[in-house]
Structure 1
């Protein structure tokens, strides 16, 4: 594991490189500070997961516009994360922690990578960032949406600049956006599948807009302008439980079109899959407090795994390795009770 590399210039020809070429030119996780007309920097993190290249592609195309000596509208601090995993097109390498689970508040066993993320936060705390944006792809059929970890007017506005679909969550812990929420308004962008030109363009245009923002709007967000969802549970498949999509071969056989459920409000009784000789303990379902709540959300009826109550899933995917490395999905509920009044500012500078 390399230590954090911190530089105040853009290495020559860096923007010409694909994500899988960065490891050959950067010694590891790299924090790059670039000046701009407004000194308070926009912080952007990319490649927290090595196979999610949209952030790097967006930054490449954005910064190329300013290569002719034109000043950035605002200073930019760019954190390029897991370049070693990106070299192999993987979310993370065997033996590595998930780079987006090891920031402050992490529940993952301590690793040298934790210290790298602590250094990033410490360096940026001194620079008083204007806003933080962490850019991701996902593998299932999901719309573009933004995630926040604070019910704060400034966070709402920063998210709405990307999409009217906004997800508020407190788990998983140890994510970049949660660590930076103590410093400034922060969001995570979910930009659809890898390789989508629309995802890259949307992220690039959003980052350009953030660089041009002079201040964060303070007025309350109308419930008419936002579709706000609250993540109420994370669903994992227990480590010793086998799963797949082929009938009869696994403890859990998932419904073949399961990724079509994302961002659909599903009724109780919706079929998620079939159970072979295991019980609900095959699922590890945790609420915001980390309590086991599988029975609140799922039921087994004549060998069928069904929803016990109406919820809206996100992040369902047919990629078995992602399900094992991360989770099966998140469960959400519509959440608009916090929009009537401006929310008092969270701690930290704006």
Structure 2
């Protein structure tokens, strides 16, 4: 598909003809990134929702379509801006099956000063240009909050992520989840940009989970109707998890999934690895198997650029084993997604968790 990287479309208070009968027609009616503004009772303030930075994460657009379809003549408390990003990838057949278009790159790795991909320069510049258009669409309304809606690659509970933990981000997180992750990872994501307002990313749950779509929709409705965003409106207590790391394969390392050790090259994860999402992986628990390269197959890079893998895992015979009680999330048995992004995020569990 030929992509016009200069294109970004703006729509204000769309009619039912623009919204269409279902979210799939709604998506297919778009020719590129689309900004939808909804007038509010107070149009001096604006709340921004971003979705489809990755084309295989549909909960955000499903929830936005449902909100637009059901809101009728009611107005939100403030102006709302919905930004729908990787339309071309999401619209590739089958719908919502591609993180980015064939031959493309992940735009949510293009917002930082350094790209973490190795592609031709012109392709990098094009995606960075689109990323800048998205940033401008957020900045031009001077938002009072930004929420970026995503899906995890496999089933799991919803959680929020922020680069800052304060009363405002805790309040926003509480509309979607009871967990907020503080992250200082630098991977070129939109979350790393400072919009001078509270910002959270929400992982609503698995992309095929109806509950994930419901989490996104309920959060949009509650925030749209909330008169003032702040600590007083915190919907539930929120548990904070500090600074997880991403477990990744090194280049050219093969990945497999199995119930038992099949002797594959590279790394083999247990085929039920996603069961560990937000559960406990205990000290000395086995998560998979390795070939003769052992831990040299993997990277677990901290914010200083150091590979701290041996602080979290060790090899027992040919098994990949937890060195401490760990919490895992975004673990997936989707091979393509695991290889393109990470095997899972991991953080050491508090000492009192057993």
TM over 0.5: same fold?
yes
The answer to whether the aligner puts 1:236 opposite 2:236 as a matched pair is no
Q: Is 1:315 aligned to 2:319, yes or no?
A: no
Task: Give CA-to-partner distance per residue, 1:271-296, whole Å, 9 cap, x none.
Answer: 11111222212001111233211112
Q: 1:60 to 1:240 in 2, by over 3 A?
A: same
Which of 228, 249, 263 is the equivalent residue of 2:278?
A: 263
Cα contact 1:104–1:118 (8 A) shared by 2 = no
1:117: how far off?
Answer: 1.9
Q: Out of 296, 302, 315, which is 1:300 matched to?
A: 315
CA 297–220 in structure 1, closer or farther in 2 if over 3 Å, else same: farther
For structure 2, list consecutive stretches of 5 or more residues without a partner in the other structure.
Answer: 118-123
| 1:294-325 Cα distance to aligned partner (Å, 9 max, x none) | 11212111111111222211111010001011
Identify if the C-alpha distance between structure 1 residues 276 and 124 changes in structure 2 by more than 3 Å, giving closer, same or farther: closer
How many residue pairs match? The answer is: 332
CA displacement at 1:177 relative to structure 2:
2.7
Deviates more, 1:48-57 or 1:98-107: 98-107
Post-superposition shift, 1:66? 2.7
Map residues 39-54 of structure 1 onto 2, 5 A cutoff: 39=43, 40-54=45-59
1:20 Cα deviation after fit: 5.2
Mapping 1:194-213, distance limit 5 Å? 194-213=207-226
Structure 1 partner of 2:121: none
Q: Deviations over 1:11-62 (max 9, x none)?
A: 7634326565556432211222232112211111111111111101101111
Match of 1:32 in 2: 36
Instruction: Report 1:172-251 matches (<5 A).
Output: 172-179=186-193, 181-218=194-231, 225-246=237-258, 247-251=262-266
Q: Give the unaligned 5+ runs of structure 1.
A: 336-350
1:274–1:305 CA contact under 8 A, matched in 2: yes
Residues 228-269 of structure 1: CA deviation (Å, up to 9, x unaligned): 112331110112111102422332221122111111232221
User: 1:111 is paired with a residue of what secondary structure?
Assistant: helix
Q: Report matched runs for 1:274-285 at 5 Å.
A: 274-285=289-300
CA contact (8 A) 1:230 1:334 kept: no
Aligned mates of 1:279, 1:43 — CA distance in 2: 45
> Conserved in 2, the CA contact under 8 Å of 1:21 and 1:87?
no
Structure 1 pair 11/292, CA: closer, same or farther in 2 (3 Å)?
Answer: farther
Residue 65 of structure 2 is matched in structure 1 by 60
Q: Distance in 1 between matches of 2:286 and 2:220?
A: 39
Structure with the bigger RCO (C-alpha within 8 Å, sep 6+) is 1
**Partner of 2:64: helix, strand, or coil?**
helix
Alignment correspondent of 1:252? 267
Contact kept, 8 Å, 1:19 with 1:53, in 2: the verdict is no
Selected match of 2:138 from 124, 131, 142: 124
Q: CA contact under 8 A between 2:26 and 2:65: conserved in structure 1?
A: no
In the alignment, does 2:99 pair up with 1:91? yes
1:139 aligns with 2:143: no
Cα distance between partner residues in 2 of 1:61 and 1:220:
24
Quote the residue 1:102 is aligned against: 110
> Offset of 1:138 from its aligned partner?
1.4
Deviation by residue 1:201-239 (Cα, 9 ceiling, x = unmatched): 221111111112222325798xx9221112331110112
4+ aligned runs moved over 6 Å, structure 1 = none
Q: Is the 8 A contact 1:20 1:86 kept in 2?
A: no
Q: 1:51 to 1:123 in 2, by over 3 A?
A: closer
| Aligned position for 1:72 | 76
Q: Corresponding residue for 1:7?
A: 10
Give CA deviations for 1:127-149 in whole Å, capped at 9, x if unaligned.
Answer: 11121111111122321111111
Report the 3-state secondary structure (helix = DSSP H, G, I; strand = E; otherwise coil) of the residue aligned with 1:127.
coil
Over aligned residue pairs, what C-alpha RMSD do you find? 2.4
